[in-house]
Amino acid sequence: MSLINGYTSTTSTSSSTTTPGSSSSTTTQGNESVVMNGSMAEKSIEERKAYLRSMKLERRSSSSIGHEKCPIHFDLELDHKPPTREDMIPNLAASYRSLLKDLGEDPEREGLLKTPERAAKAMLYFTKGYDQTVDDVMNGAIFDEDHDDLVIVKDIEMFSVCEHHLVPFWGKVSVGYLPNKKVVGLSKVARIVEIFSRRLQVQERLTKQIALAIVEAIQPTGVGVVVEGTHMCMVMRGVQKVSAKTTTSTMLGVFRDDPKTREEFLTLVK
């Protein structure tokens, strides 16, 4: 047994034979034979996997929803797609139904009869950001502009779900950046906030992800993000501090290096 890139694999003796006058060959791996017929494009998915295993190429994993139970992923796995979010509703609803039973409730009573399906759909909506990327929402709304002063979009409403307790947290996000010959459509800043807030989150990570997404999109000379949130895990359980708010910030580029730029940004977003 050997460990390759975090996965355990079995090392076996392999041999190959080539038919004279033909581009085909057979590779034997343990008790399996894989027929190599010309280009990789002609092979089935299983043949591609077996070939890549024999080559011991780097394996990659995926955090995309629907891929969690996949043991390995390969770059040539072109027809491997996760289920749609609608496909997840029955399993999620069954989980909620089981939860209701474990709580001592009767999921068959009138008030709860459709609750599992409603809850499943709601959770999929709360986490719809997993299905979106920055490229998706930008949709080409990046423009060449000779502007090098602060651009700020403040008080963007944010709703998210705490990954520790699966209860909501919400608040406001303010984003500022110093352009580097490019600006982004203002609504796209709010959409970037939506992408990362509509996931299971912690506020600290959310703040940084928003800032890095702006950097990825337009490579500004600096980015600042400030998030103020109210967390139900602190309000309705635990310490139960109703008025407590959490503020996090991420400063990149000149926002981190230049105190005057940082001070101007923080003053304007108050």
Q: Which entry of 162, 194, 201, 209 is annotated as an active-site residue?
A: 162
Q: Which entry of 164, 204, 216, 219 is annotated as an active-site residue?
A: 164
Active-site residue 164, yes or no? yes
Active-site residue 147, yes or no? no
Count other C-beta atoms under 10 Å from residue 32's C-beta: 13
Query: What single-letter amino acid sits at 228?
Result: E
Q: 217 Cβ partners below 8 Å, 6+ apart?
A: 134, 138, 142, 184, 188, 192
Q: Which entry of 194, 209, 228, 231 is annotated as an active-site residue?
A: 231
Q: 99 Cβ partners below 8 Å, 6+ apart?
A: none
Active-site residue 163, yes or no? yes
Active-site residue 203, yes or no? yes
Q: Which entry of 67, 73, 147, 165 is annotated as an active-site residue?
A: 165
Residue 142: what are its φ and ψ, rounded to 5°? -120, 130
Q: Which entry of 46, 58, 163, 216 is annotated as an active-site residue?
A: 163
Active-site residue 165, yes or no? yes
Active-site residue 233, yes or no? yes
Q: Which entry of 73, 77, 117, 233 is annotated as an active-site residue?
A: 233
60 close to 74: Cβ distance less than 8 angstroms: yes
* Terminal Cα-to-Cα distance of the chain (whole angstroms): 59
199 is written with which tokens?
Answer: 């996931």
61 is written with which tokens?
Answer: 């994993």
Active-site residue 231, yes or no? yes
Q: Which entry of 201, 203, 209, 228 is annotated as an active-site residue?
A: 203
Q: Which residues are catalytic?
A: 162-165, 203, 231, 233
